[in-house]
Amino acid sequence: MPIRKAVLPVAGLGTRFLPATKAVPKEMLTVVDRPLIQHVVDEAREAGIEHFIFVTGRNKGVIEDHFDRQFELETTLTEKRRYADLQILASDLPEPGQMSFTRQQTPLGLGHAVWCAREIIGREPFALLLPDVLVQAKRGCLAQMIDAYKSLGDKANVIAVEEVPRERVSMYGIVGVGKQNGLAFQITSMVEKPRVEDAPSNLSITGRYILQPEVLDLLGTQTRGAGGEIQLTDAMLRLAQTQPFFGLKFEGKSFDCGSKIGFLSANIAYALEREDIAPSLRDEIRRLLN
């Protein structure tokens, strides 16, 4: 069955970016001139996703507004003949019915956020993209995952992974590496923040998943785990007892935009890809460093 739907959990408070996120959702902070959430939606669109499911919280209405028309702005741009800007707005606008929004009333973790979308997901496999993570790649990370998924069978689950320095594995969820299967490999274990000496590899889980709908049943009965939250990893470990999990070592680089350094690095990396601003930015960086 094709992957048509994507879940984007956007209910977090973004406390690591206070006071910027006091009134502005962290997902609306910009990397160059596009909000974080727009970059992630662009990646999902490239992969062929048809329906975007946002799991929101309080004070997140601006995300819904971002993916809607703003007639006053469009009228002003038309009057000023700023047709290039109008074209940008039109290209970002979703088709009617492509976006769904549901609330996570209580902050009970990522697993709970995914479970809150169960009625919209239905009984089909779905993608899960964490908006805190941007992946810079020639071909989007999710598109690479779907390419691999097509050859793995109807009950496959796929997780994007990338190498991290061995001495830093205790900061990530780490997977064990099994037999290679096409572009992907079998995941033999998933360990959250292991000690360096206990880590099964140096491949970390990167915030992109393709999951089967049975994970929703498990999340519905999942007891609270670390931090008193319903952990997605706990449900995936249970699902791995009956369904195969595969890892895909994608081509590209991820940025943890939930951290200040990751967010700043993403801004620089994405700006350096832009022909209109890269030369001036390089000059400015040299000037600042000197």
Instruction: For residue range 142-196, list pLDDT tens digits in order.
Output: 999 999 999 898 889 999 999 999 988 988 889 999 998 888 999 999 888 889 9
> What's the CA gap between 248 and 25, in Å, rounded?
30
Length of the chain (residues)? 290
Tell me the whole-structure pTM to 2 decimals: 0.91
Is the Cβ–Cβ distance between 101 and 65 less than 8 Å?
no
- Beta-carbon contacts of residue 149 (< 8 Å; ≥ 6 apart): 3, 156, 158, 210
pLDDT band at residue 69 under the 50/70/90 scheme? confident
Q: For strand 51-56 and strand 34-35, is the pairing parallel, antiparallel, or unpaired?
A: unpaired
For residue 202, what is the domain's CATH number?
Answer: 3.90.550.10
- Specify the higher pLDDT residue, 74 or 253: 253
Which residue range(s) make up the domain with 230? 5-289
- Convert the pLDDT of each residue in 223-273 to its tens digit: 776 667 888 989 999 999 999 999 999 999 999 999 999 999 999 999 999
pLDDT, tens digit, for every residue of 98-128? 999 999 988 888 999 999 999 999 999 999 9
The span from the CA of 7 to the CA of 128, in Å, is 5
Structural domain count of the chain: 1
